[in-house]
Amino acid sequence: MAVDLLSPQALATVLISAVSLIVWRLTVGGFGSRKYKLPPLVEYKWPILGSTFDFIKDPTAFTVNSYEKYGPVFRVYFRGYVQAVVGKEHVRDIFLNPAFSYEEAVKDEFRLADMLGTSQTDLEPHRLFAVIITPFLARFIPVLSNVLTRGFDRGVGADIQAPLQVESPSNLIMDVIARATTVCFFGEELGTNSELIPVYKDFAASIGHFVNRKSPVLALLPSVAKLYMWVKFNLSSPTAVYRAKVLQYTMPIVHERRRLMKELGDEYDPPLDSLQAYLNTVPLDQPVNEHELATMMLTLVFFSIHTTTKRTTICLYNLAKYPQYVPELLEEQRAVLGDDWADGTVTLDQLKNLSKLDSFIRESLRTSGRSIALPHKIVGMDEWHLPGGYVLPKGTVVNINTEDVYYSPELQGPNPREFNAWRFVGTDKGAARIGPDMIAFGLGRHACPGRFFAVHEMKIALSLILKRYSVRFPDGAKPTDGSPLLFTPRKTA
């Protein structure tokens, strides 16, 4: 077969190979090897690709084998450059020492602030949260239980008489979580608007596509990916389309609320949602900054829906994989919530008393962490000295070996490879409690401010599922995450 050397495909291949070679020279080839005693580099067969595919094929085996062969600190050539991996001893350093920066590490691959549009606003997540989410946490609980109930009514059925096979449990959970979350944040009308629900679900997925480097070329060549994303988000930003859609439905509601605020003054009984809390910060004689408002809404959507969906789905599969824990979870539920608890009646104190469910959730978070994760770049010191005489120079991206964190008997107790749903019962380690032994929500300055909300939402969603249905894998189906699940009404289970 003749190959046209001037075809766009051939030119693109030459260009990508040239860029890759330069990147490779600048990373593996030029990693300052003469000056520093660098930690060992995991052996790999393929230039450019490095260990990327070995890692993707089996992240756990790759990480555990590398630790065994090279020790607690090693370097890996993957996703286009050489990065360091450190274990549990260094978690505090990485998260709490400002010499390490998460933003700078991910900036090499993508600029989340540009993607979300926050680079053009003064929005700062932690300050924003203190005003628009934290004061409402307890009041969101009845709202969550009400909307989650309606979500399961729609997605599975309020009163199913026979077992129902749910083909995509993660889609079911996504739909339920998207509605419940956005009703809390933006009010009933915007949270149940059928035009906006797909926007909430798609927005995080479309940005996540870039962030998770779903395309192999983007995954392997961060510099090409970064250029591509700059062009994509600056010339035809997908965020702009979502922003316009959100504003189309939100602005009439904003105008109406502000009209009532002006007209009724102290007599106005405002809705208890984050949108209202945001509007309260804008003086009534000034216009609402539409760009900032939509960015705030999309930022909340981006951070909250996929993350909570993913972890709730993992817990749902764990209910099916480990049915031995269900009777005690149900017993706890009856003792704390009673037999006839209904939507809208659950309180914060009751949720706190569901300690077995809380432990089940924390154990699910612990056993589902990605093995090499949470990259931080060394920015605030010229050299980072590690045990063994190793040195990592400024600019190195350092990841956490979460296998070492989550499967260490020292941090997690006996038999850490075993799923033990009651591992944390009777301890002070709640599901939302972060520390060097639990980094699913990060740690330090940028620790997830939404974790309490997320855990409340997960507890209510799982309690509803437990109360109504028995969940198992269909006969003959592989018991893996992603399989369909059979929901059997509990009264006939």
Per DSSP, helices labelled H in 422-476 are 451-468
The smaller minimum CB distance to ligand HEM, of residues 304 and 371, is found at 304
Taking the complex as a whole, how short is the minimal distance between the CB of residue 28 and ligand HEM, in angstroms? 27
The smaller minimum CB distance to ligand HEM, of residues 125 and 271, is found at 125
Taking the complex as a whole, how short is the minimal distance between the CB of residue 55 and ligand HEM, in angstroms? 20
Q: What character string, x for contact with ligand HEM (CB under 6 A) and - otherwise, covers 284-303?
A: ----------------x--x
Q: Is 438 in the site for ligand HEM (CB under 6 A)?
A: no
Asked whether residue 448 is marked as a ligand-binding residue, the answer is yes
Instruction: Give yes or no for a contact between 196 and 249, defined as CB atoms under 8 angstroms apart.
Output: yes
* Amino acid found at 284: L
Output the CA–CA distances (angstroms, integers) from residue 81 to 45, 210, 491, in the order listed. 15, 18, 55
Size of interface with ligand HEM, in residues (CB under 6 A): 22
Helix, strand, coil in percent for the chain, rounding step 5: 60, 10, 30
Q: Is 442 in the site for ligand HEM (CB under 6 A)?
A: yes
Strands 383-385 and 391-393: antiparallel
Query: Of 242, 284, 240, which Cα lies nearest the Cα of 265?
Result: 284
Q: Which of residues 78-107 bind ligand HEM (CB under 6 A)?
A: 102
Taking the complex as a whole, how short is the minimal distance between the CB of residue 102 and ligand HEM, in angstroms? 4
Q: Which of residues 300-319 bind ligand HEM (CB under 6 A)?
A: 300, 303-304, 307-308, 311
**The only residue of 69, 126, 259, 352 in contact with ligand HEM, by rule CB under 6 A:** 126
Output the CA–CA distances (angstroms, integers) from residue 308 to 91, 260, 315, 410, in the order listed. 24, 34, 11, 28
| Segment interacting with ligand HEM, rule: CB under 6 A, options 15-23, 279-287, 343-351, 445-453 | 445-453
Burial 101-122 (b: 16+ CB within 10 A, else e): bbebbbebbbbbbbbbbbeebe
Q: Is 407 in the site for ligand HEM (CB under 6 A)?
A: no
Q: Is 452 in the site for ligand HEM (CB under 6 A)?
A: no
Q: Is 173 in the site for ligand HEM (CB under 6 A)?
A: no
Residue 177 phi, psi (nearest 5) = -70, -40
* Segment (H or E) for 78: strand 74-78
Q: Is 239 in the site for ligand HEM (CB under 6 A)?
A: no
**The only residue of 125, 163, 270, 416 in contact with ligand HEM, by rule CB under 6 A:** 125
Q: Is 441 in the site for ligand HEM (CB under 6 A)?
A: yes
Contacts of 437 (CB under 8 A, 6+ apart): 88, 405, 411, 412, 429
**The only residue of 14, 158, 227, 447 in contact with ligand HEM, by rule CB under 6 A:** 447
Per DSSP, helices labelled H in 280-347 are 290-321, 326-337
The smaller minimum CB distance to ligand HEM, of residues 149 and 309, is found at 309
The smaller minimum CB distance to ligand HEM, of residues 38 and 84, is found at 84
Q: Which of residues 327-346 bind ligand HEM (CB under 6 A)?
A: none
Strands 397-401 and 81-86: parallel
The smaller minimum CB distance to ligand HEM, of residues 308 and 470, is found at 308
Q: Is 32 in the site for ligand HEM (CB under 6 A)?
A: no
Query: Of 8, 36, 88, 106, which Cα lies nearest the Cα of 437?
Result: 88
Cα gap 350→342, rounded to integer Å: 13
Taking the complex as a whole, how short is the minimal distance between the CB of residue 295 and ligand HEM, in angstroms? 12
**The only residue of 446, 477, 481, 483 in contact with ligand HEM, by rule CB under 6 A:** 446
Contacts of 245 (CB under 8 A, 6+ apart): 195, 196, 199
The smaller minimum CB distance to ligand HEM, of residues 139 and 259, is found at 139
Residues in contact with ligand HEM by CB under 6 A are 102, 125-126, 133, 300, 303-304, 307-308, 311, 440-443, 446-451, 453-454
Annotated binding site: 448
